Amino acid sequence: MTPSPVSTDSSSSVSIPRIHSTSRAGSSITGGRPRLTPLRWGLWVGGGMAMVSVVCVVCLGFGTEAISFSRIASLVASTALGMGGEMVADDPTSVIVLQVRLPRVLLAFLVGGSLAMVGVALQALLRNPLADPFVIGISSGAALGASIALLFGVGISILSVSALPVCAFAGALFSLFIMYRISSAKFGFSIYTLLLAGVVLNAIFSAFIMFLTSIADPNRAFGMYAWLMGTLIGPDFPTLGVLALYLGLGLFLLTAHSSSLNLLTLGEETARSLGVDVERVKKLVFIASALLTGAVVSFSGIIGFVGLIVPHAVRFLVGADHRLLLPLAGLVGGGFLMIADTVARTVLSPTELPVGILTALLGGPIFLWLLTHRQAQLGMK
Amino acid sequence: MKRRQQGILTGMPFMANIAPRTFVDDLGRKLYLANPPKRIVSLAPSITEMLFAIGLDEEIVGVTDFCNFPPAALTKPKIAYSQPNLEAMLALQPQLVLAPPSFIRPDFLAKLEQLKVPTFILESKTVEGILGHLQLLGRMVGHASRANEQAAKLRKEIGDLTRTIEGLPRPTLLYVLNSEPLITVGPGSFIHHLIELAGGRNAAERASAPYPRLTMEEVLTQNPDMLLFPVGEYEGIPQAEQDRWKRWQSLTAVREGNLFQIQSDLLNRPGPRVLDGLRELVRILHPDAAARETPPTPSFP
Amino acid sequence: MTVSINGSLSAYSLHQVTFGYASRRQEVSKAILDRLSCEIPVVQVFGILGPNGSGKSTLLKLLAGVYQPQEGRLSLFGNPLSGLAQAEIARQVSLVPQETLQVFPFTIAEMVLMGRYPHHRGWGGWHWEDASDWEIANQAMADMNVAHLGGRLVTEVSGGERQRAIIARALTQQPKVLLLDEPTAFLDLHHQLDIVRGIRRLNREQGLTVVLVSHDVNLASQYCDRVMLLNQGHPVDIGPPDQVIRPDVLEAVYGCRVLVDRHPQSGLPRVTLPV
């Protein structure tokens, strides 16, 4: 070793002032959040699940028909206990609760949860807290794919698990790819670039969709418009199961990578220097996000801003650690959309509103507020 | 168009009867026609059907892409529907443009006015309205007697038809305008009117809009006795979507297999074929009464 | 391990390394590093100096395995870097990048703990930190004087505090080699001194190899065992500071005359700008 060219004062006589001694390691992070342990994680996620269950039962209690909570509780309990038991087909209350409300509430949960988790993942990947599958044009891409499938008869109906989700998936993947190329361009990476690109991408896809609807026959076009506005229909349980499977796969991929997502928020180069296999993680997160967005859009059309509001709220609550943020955003997003959809189907009863209208009315202003008041946090200064 | 204060009665529909060659359309616009127009453009399939029904043919110089009845309409020059091609229309040198209010854009109408193309808006929301329009069109184009005759005949046959179902119980019917998401017809729509006229009760009669998205709960509560799906060349519910209704086993309609289809043209078009549509509806709603009725005479000679 | 020219062991050895940011169509549009060869000895503080655009930061990223050279050989402790998995590199080398934009509200402690990532194996990278991870992170935060900020959000603290936290994160990786890109750029004098002394101490006490990129010639002169002067992707000179930092060399590289005298305490070269 070469002798130190620096005079002897450096290493021993001057030491860095230490505020905390190492003996207090582990337990003593001043202020802020306590450390994330499996226990704390379990408490949050368990609490979230309990909350979602309560919300679910409450949402089951609202609808066009007035049905008492005790009746709903007994119906749900008897179904849950006697799994697979024959449901009384001609009891209207039972049909309404178990075949209309329950599938729809569950669908709202799956859709809302997926959108929120995709929002979280995209925000981490693009390092942009305003990324939302709707805002940056991923939903439109999926909708375009789905519209093509619908109009060219690949899968005539919206609910069939056929070519439709595949086309929606392809559309979502395509727009994600474009978005990513834009955001990772050597020059001009900024939150604004991404938002502007999203606006333009949305405009292009909307134009294509309008083109398709204008050449379609009026009734199909009418149905497509209705679907694009963001609608939840209570599917039957097998369909719901298939969707849950679809989404489960995407959610598993995202959750498994949540530690890597934490590092990706530091930037790709830094993440790589910390040992993240960035290319692989990016690819997987992209595919998972496209999978989720495609599945969700092919079931429920375009429901905007859930992926924006919910991650912000949850981050405010528990911080940015994706190991907790992802599952909790999923639960909160699910709960949020269950409530929003309950409002949508009861406020003008027996007519219902497309739930996409509600989320946009709620989310749009919040988005603007974030854009104008939270610039520092968004790293826009 | 300018509205001038001309007297207390100006602009009222019955003024059309007083001033023989001045006509008032359904937007309250007045139109003076010195002579029966010889070149007419129709911007709605229902209007095209009316024009043919009162004996016009050569005078019809332009129709929409969707005008497929009577077969003679198919040979007419086409101008698009919701976005009519202005140039193509002007090239036809129309002396009268007949349009529905729903699809014509205000700026398009203003342009036609500016170009002094006589434009007349027709909106039929009831059967009586259709009959009135037939007669009105007859007077405008100089086929009054033929039109009156047609109207009288239709009125009589509709009267005969509705008499057969008088006093019968009214089954509940759900008209599935769009299946996923469910959109149906509510009070204020033409089809709602037809369902009631044909002796049925609309499952969406409590809805607050003419074309409401109805909650499935409301459908289950109203428990329709029959479901009706429009089918047809241009519009209709695909078979796969119809079949998915069969999972609602608690619906009387499903249990009893009362899933019906109807040519959407017959109900969607407030024109002379409304009689055929009504007859179909009666056959669906009251099969026994329909059987007693005399065999239908074609509404077109 | 490879043995460098002067007999000591090499942490890195570079042979004919060529790198350029590849644009889509061309292979390499313009080489930023052109057939660069050098040895970086272990347990030394190695400084890389050079004007803007000379390829300093790029070289550092190559050393961190963030990018792969298009040509040439680059090995870490005798192993070709291209043959190592990203996490394997990260267990031995940590990088403190020049600029860090943090948009998400992680706490300082959470961010520092991310340094433990390469030491955990789990599918997709999911893991829980255990007590030893926390101990290491707390030690690093204490070393960098940010332990009291552990609960604060990275978005709230000052640039200097964030910079120190990032160095703490790099230490939490428990690397053998620490790569620093302008570590003192955002810091006031007091914290500059803290950082460079801290780094020096880690080098002396724990045998950490440090590679430091800096604009600050004096800092490099004072605290580096060896420096490399880089110009347009080529090493102009490599050696102890008092050999490399000479007025004629600096003028050739930077294109302006500077004054070089001796530091009153250490006697090492000191550069000042002429009036």
For residue range C128-163, what is the model confidence (pLDDT) as tens digits? Answer: 888 899 999 999 999 888 899 988 888 888 888 888
Residues 6+ apart with CB under 8 A from B168: B199, B286, B289
On the question of a cis peptide bond just before residue A350, with omega within 30 degrees of 0, the verdict is yes
Q: Which of A206-215, A298-307, B67-76, C96-105 has the lowest mean pLDDT?
A: C96-105
- Mean pLDDT (whole number) for A43-55: 94
Subunit partners of chain B (3 or more CB pairs within 8 A): A
**Cβ contact A272–C100 (<8 Å):** no
Touching check for A81 and chain C: CB below 8 Å? Answer: no
Tell me which chain C residues have a C-beta less than 8 angstroms from the C-beta of A6: 200, 222-223, 266, 268
Interface test with C, best of A266, A318, A323 (most C CBs within 10 A): A266
- Mean pLDDT (whole number) for B114-136: 91
Interface test with A, best of B217, B219, B249 (most A CBs within 10 A): B217
Tell me which chain B residues have a C-beta less than 8 angstroms from the C-beta of A353: 213
Touching check for A64 and chain C: CB below 8 Å? Answer: no
Indicate whether C107 pLDDT > 50: yes
Classified as helix, coil or strand, B270 is coil
**Cβ contact A96–B206 (<8 Å):** no
Measured CA to CA, the distance from residue B94 to residue A250 in angstroms comes to 60
- Mean pLDDT (whole number) for B175-195: 91
List the single residue in B83, B177, B215 with the smallest CB-CB distance to A350: B215
- Mean pLDDT (whole number) for B65-89: 84
**Cβ contact A348–B208 (<8 Å):** yes
Touching check for C222 and chain A: CB below 8 Å? Answer: yes
* Each residue's pLDDT tens digit, A297-332: 988 888 988 998 899 889 888 989 999 999 999 999
Indicate whether A9 pLDDT > 60: no
Residue identified by tokens 């939490």 is C172
User: Residue A83's pLDDT is what?
Assistant: 53
**Cβ contact B215–A351 (<8 Å):** yes
Q: Which residue in C has a C-alpha nearest to residue A259's C-alpha?
A: C126
**Cβ contact C44–A2 (<8 Å):** yes
Strands B172-175 and B226-231: parallel
Indicate whether B288 pLDDT > 80: yes
Indicate whether B11 pLDDT > 60: no
In A, residues 270-309, which contact C (CB 8 Å cutoff)?
A: 270, 272-278, 281, 284
User: Residue B151's pLDDT is what?
Assistant: 93
- Mean pLDDT (whole number) for C43-50: 92
**Cβ contact A315–C155 (<8 Å):** no
Subunit partners of chain C (3 or more CB pairs within 8 A): A
Indicate whether A209 pLDDT > 80: yes
Q: Which of A178-182, B53-57, B159-163, B243-247 has the lowest mean pLDDT?
A: A178-182
User: Residue A8's pLDDT is what?
Assistant: 38
**Cβ contact C109–A275 (<8 Å):** no
Confidence at A15, pLDDT banded by 50, 70, 90: very low
User: Residue A70's pLDDT is what?
Assistant: 83
User: Residue A322's pLDDT is what?
Assistant: 93
**Cβ contact C103–A128 (<8 Å):** yes
Confidence at A77, pLDDT banded by 50, 70, 90: confident
Quote the minimal CA–CA distance from A266 to chain C in Å. 6
Residue identified by tokens 């398709």 is A212
Using a threshold of 3 CB pairs under 8 A, tell whether chains A and B touch: yes
List the single residue in A11, A28, A33 with the smallest CB-CB distance to C107: A33
In A, residues 98-127, which contact C (CB 8 Å cutoff)?
A: 123-124, 127
Using a threshold of 3 CB pairs under 8 A, tell whether chains B and C touch: no
Tell me which chain A residues have a C-beta less than 8 angstroms from the C-beta of C139: 22, 25
Indicate whether A375 pLDDT > 70: no
Subunit partners of chain A (3 or more CB pairs within 8 A): B, C
**Cβ contact C97–A270 (<8 Å):** yes
| Helix ranges (DSSP H) in chain A | 38-60, 69-81, 92-95, 102-126, 138-151, 163-183, 191-215, 218-228, 237-256, 258-264, 268-273, 278-300, 306-318, 322-346, 355-373
List the single residue in B208, B244, B250 with the smallest CB-CB distance to A92: B250
Measured CA to CA, the distance from residue C211 to residue A269 in angstroms comes to 17
User: Residue A196's pLDDT is what?
Assistant: 83
Indicate whether A12 pLDDT > 60: no
Biggest alpha carbon distance in chain B?
Answer: 63
Quote the minimal CA–CA distance from C131 to chain A in Å. 7
Task: Please say whether the dihedral angle defined by the alpha carbons of residues C248, C252, C256 and C262, taken in this order, is positive or negative.
Answer: negative
Indicate whether A13 pLDDT > 70: no
**Mean pLDDT, all residues of chain B:** 85
User: Residue B27's pLDDT is what?
Assistant: 87
Percent of chain A with pLDDT over 70: 81
**Cβ contact A345–B215 (<8 Å):** yes
Indicate whether A82 pLDDT > 80: no
Burial class (CB in 10 A: 0-12, 13-18, 19+), C104: buried
Quote the minimal CA–CA distance from C35 to chain A in Å. 23
Q: Dihedral of the CA atoms B178, B181, B185, B191 (nearest 10)? A: 0
Which range of A324-338, B222-236, C96-110, C236-250 scores highest in mean pLDDT? It is A324-338
Percent of chain C with pLDDT over 90: 37
What DSSP state is assigned to residue B70? S
Do the beta carbons of residue A282 and residue A179 sit within 8 Å? Answer: no
Q: Which of A13-22, A293-302, C113-122 has the lowest mean pLDDT?
A: A13-22
Strands B172-175 and B201-202: parallel
Indicate whether B79 pLDDT > 60: yes
Tell me which chain A residues have a C-beta less than 8 angstroms from the C-beta of C135: 22, 25-26
* Each residue's pLDDT tens digit, A84-104: 444 555 577 888 888 888 888
Indicate whether A336 pLDDT > 90: yes
Q: Which candidate, C227, C219, C275, C222, places its Cα nearest to that of C253?
A: C227
Touching check for B204 and chain A: CB below 8 Å? Answer: yes
List the single residue in B180, B182, B249 with the smallest CB-CB distance to A89: B249
Touching check for A183 and chain C: CB below 8 Å? Answer: no
User: Residue A191's pLDDT is what?
Assistant: 66
Touching check for C252 and chain A: CB below 8 Å? Answer: no
Indicate whether C47 pLDDT > 90: yes
Touching check for C167 and chain A: CB below 8 Å? Answer: no
List the single residue in B180, B212, B220 with the smallest CB-CB distance to A159: B180
Q: Which of A17-31, A302-316, C27-41 has the lowest mean pLDDT?
A: A17-31
Residues 6+ apart with CB under 8 A from B173: B195, B200, B201, B202, B203, B224, B225, B226, B227, B228, B284, B285
User: Residue B5's pLDDT is what?
Assistant: 41
Q: Dihedral of the CA atoms B121, B126, B132, B135 (nearest 10)? A: 80
* Each residue's pLDDT tens digit, C180-206: 999 888 788 888 888 888 888 889 988
Measured CA to CA, the distance from residue B240 to residue B234 in angstroms comes to 17
Q: Which candidate, B6, C253, C61, C43, places its Cα nearest to that of A272?
A: C61
- Mean pLDDT (whole number) for C54-68: 90
Indicate whether A112 pLDDT > 60: yes
Chain A to chain B Cβ contacts (< 8 Å): 111
pTM value > 0.80: yes
Indicate whether A81 pLDDT > 80: no
- Mean pLDDT (whole number) for C67-83: 90
Q: Which of A78-82, A131-135, B23-27, C178-182 has the lowest mean pLDDT?
A: A78-82
Touching check for A167 and chain C: CB below 8 Å? Answer: no
Q: Which candidate, A179, A158, A309, places its Cα nearest to that of A234?
A: A158
Q: Which residue in C has a C-alpha nearest to residue A260's C-alpha?
A: C125
Do the beta carbons of residue C100 and residue C52 sit within 8 Å? Answer: no
Indicate whether C10 pLDDT > 60: yes
Q: Which residue in A has a C-alpha nearest to residue C195's C-alpha?
A: A16
Do the beta carbons of residue B181 and residue B212 sit within 8 Å? Answer: no
Of residues A82 and A247, the one with the higher pLDDT is: A247
Confidence at A377, pLDDT banded by 50, 70, 90: low
> What's the complex ipTM?
0.89
User: Residue B234's pLDDT is what?
Assistant: 65
User: Residue A3's pLDDT is what?
Assistant: 42
Touching check for C101 and chain A: CB below 8 Å? Answer: yes
Percent of chain C with pLDDT over 70: 93
Indicate whether C168 pLDDT > 90: yes
- Mean pLDDT (whole number) for C224-228: 93
* Each residue's pLDDT tens digit, A143-179: 999 888 877 765 444 444 467 778 888 999 999 888 8
- Mean pLDDT (whole number) for C11-38: 77
* Each residue's pLDDT tens digit, B231-280: 887 667 888 888 889 988 889 999 999 999 999 888 888 999 999 999 99
Quote the minimal CA–CA distance from B48 to chain A in Å. 18
User: Residue B268's pLDDT is what?
Assistant: 85
Tell me which chain B residues have a C-beta less than 8 angstroms from the C-beta of A92: 220-221, 223, 250
**Cβ contact A319–C91 (<8 Å):** no
* Each residue's pLDDT tens digit, C86-101: 999 999 999 999 877 7
Of residues C38 and C98, the one with the higher pLDDT is: C38
